[in-house]
Structure 1
Amino acid sequence: MSGTGSIAGGHGRVGRVLSGMAVAVGCVFFLGGFAWGAIAYQPYTVPTDSMSPTVHPGDRVLAERIDGSEVRRGDVVVFTDKLWGDTPMVKRAVAVGGDTVACCDAQGRLTVNGKAVDEPYLLTKGQASPTEFSVEVPEGKLFLLGDERMGSLDSREHLQDAGRGAVSRSDVSARVDAVAWPLTGGLVARPQGFATLPGGVSQPGPVKLILAAVVAGAVLILGGAAYGPLARLFGQRKASEARDRVTTHA
């Protein structure tokens, strides 16, 4: 009996060590994921419907902190520009410095450097803008439009400004990667309509990796913490079965 008890005790000690390690590693993943997210992302609440249906008023989005030089065509960005009201806004960059952006072609599509761009994210399909325009974007600037083109106040409203409606790259603080709330929002996709233009589209941020780290950490913490109670329950059941066998033989 003592040998059996020693083996059982050994297994118990190994289990406690492993469960402790699981909790420790889980804490690293869990807390590290949140820390990584706090450094890489800034939360932002969408104030208007100008970016519907991509994001809606009141949506809580995660915007990756980036330098304005990293913005690519198609990115949904958070920016602040004094001429636009000096408050954080969210729009989509449809053209960059040196581009000629115009609307509309015979199919109602936006064109960039003469190339028609398919924009499946628009609220009003097949109509990139209710007003026609054509503008060459100054170097170092971005031409920004809302996805709700019928009512969005964007670069089209500022075409008479010195910058011809464009916003400086340095005014951009972040790129929207995902809708955190409501939970049905999901990731904000990179539009492939701009992928064939020089520079292509940007790569997704690390939001998936951060979420995976947090989830993995939570699983390890809960699994490690559950070992003790489950081991005791299993031990009590085994002891009860042993007593029942002794009683039966008696």
Structure 2
Amino acid sequence: MSGDTGRGTRRGRALSGVAVAVGCVLFLGGFVLTALLYQPYAVPTDSMAPSVSAGDRVLAQRIDGDEARRGDVVVFEEAQWGDALMVKRVVGVGGDTVACCTDDGLLTVNGEPVTEPYLDAESRAEPMEFSAEVPEGELFLIGDHRHESLDSRTMLSDSDAGSVPRDAVTARVEATVWPPSRVGMLASASGFADQPGGVSGSGPLLPLLWATLAGAVLIIGGALYGPVAGRRASRRTPQRAGVAGDAQ
């Protein structure tokens, strides 16, 4: 009986060691890849509300500007717009004609109305009318909080299309991570899906977060096995000694 217990203990310790090793790989791998692929940002204004509000901390996937598609919420820096990093939504790419609005208050891209469920009622009311042709290699960017956002619409002039070069974009916002009440993935911009090129798919953030969490659970579980097994063994030992004394 004691031999079986010993073998079981050794097997348990071996399995706990494997769990800790696998956990370390998952935890460190997920953490490092997330740090390499994503950049945290603090959003200073409400120009993208309600999708992203002032004070939110977001995670944005590092991308090249050529990867930006219609509907993406991107981080960019453009000298004509100021010295700070900005967060806006791509609504048009090179060659597009972007205009506002239909009788229902919908934005149009190349004459096609775009449904934007992430906008709130205030942004849908009395929209700013405009029409712009986006130069090749550039992006037309506007905020979800249409009445408060300074964006490509306000930069329009006779000599300026209001757009920014693709290479001004450094990242695509994928999720809000702070405050806790707003943690979650950004809503999909499926209204742009029928445009050429479609919309961007989900990035690797969720799989990486699950891998990191699973790694942490395995590490903690494996580390706890030794103390728990030792406590159980110490509880069994006095009982066996008592039984042996009675038999004598």
TM-score if structure 1 supplies the norm length?
Answer: 0.93
- Which position in structure 1 is the counterpart of 2:136? 139
Q: Is the 8 A contact 1:103 1:129 kept in 2?
A: no
**Structure 1 residues 203 and 164: CA distance shift in structure 2, 3 A:** same
- Return the match for 2:206 from 202, 205, 208: 208
Q: 1:217 is matched with which residue?
A: 215
| Unmatched runs of 5 consecutive residues or more in structure 2 | none
Mapped contact 2:123–2:144 kept (Cα < 8 A): no
How far the C-alpha of 1:196 sits from its partner, in A, is 1.1
Percent pairwise identity: 57
Provide the TM-score with structure 2 as the length reference: 0.94
What is the match of residue 66 of structure 1? Answer: 63
Residue by residue over 1:204-236, the C-alpha shift from the partner in whole angstroms, topping out at 9 and shown as x without a partner, is 111101101110100100110010011012212
1:90 to 2:87 alignment: yes
Aligned-residue offset at 1:87: 1.5
**Residue of structure 2 equivalent to 1:9:** 6
Cα separation, 2, equivalents of 1:85 and 1:161: 20
Kept after mapping to 2: 8 A contact 1:103/1:128 = no
Query: One-letter code of the match for 2:91?
Result: V
1:76, distance to aligned residue in structure 2 (A)? 0.2
Q: Which residue of 1 aligns with 2:104?
A: 107
Distance 2:2 2:151 in 1: 75
Residue aligned with 1:157, SS? coil
Structure 1 residue 20 displacement after superposition = 1.3
Cα deviation for residue 242 of structure 1 reads: 2.7
C-alpha spacing 1:161/1:217, structure 2 compared with 1 (3 Å): farther
Aligned match for 1:171, one of 168, 172, 176:
168
Determine if contact 2:105/2:127 at 8 Å carries over to the other structure.
Answer: no
- What is the alpha-carbon distance in structure 1 between the residues aligned to residue 165 and residue 97 of structure 2? 16
Residue type of the partner of 1:41? Y
Report the counterpart of residue 232 of structure 1 in structure 2. 230
Q: Aligned AA for 2:193?
A: A
Aligned residue pairs: how many? 247
Cα distance, 1:6 vs structure 2: 2.9
Q: Distance in 1 between matches of 2:121 and 2:87?
A: 19
Q: In structure 2, the residue corresponding to 1:178 is in which secondary structure?
A: strand
The more displaced of 123-132 and 214-223 is 123-132
Would you say the 8 A contact 2:96–2:133 is kept in 1?
Answer: yes
Given candidates 110, 114, 128, the residue that maps to 1:117 is 114
Give the drift of 1:8.
Answer: 2.1
Distance 1:219 1:11 in 2: 22
Whether the 8 Å CA contact 1:63–1:178 is kept in 2: the answer is yes
**SS of structure 2 residue aligned to 1:158:** coil
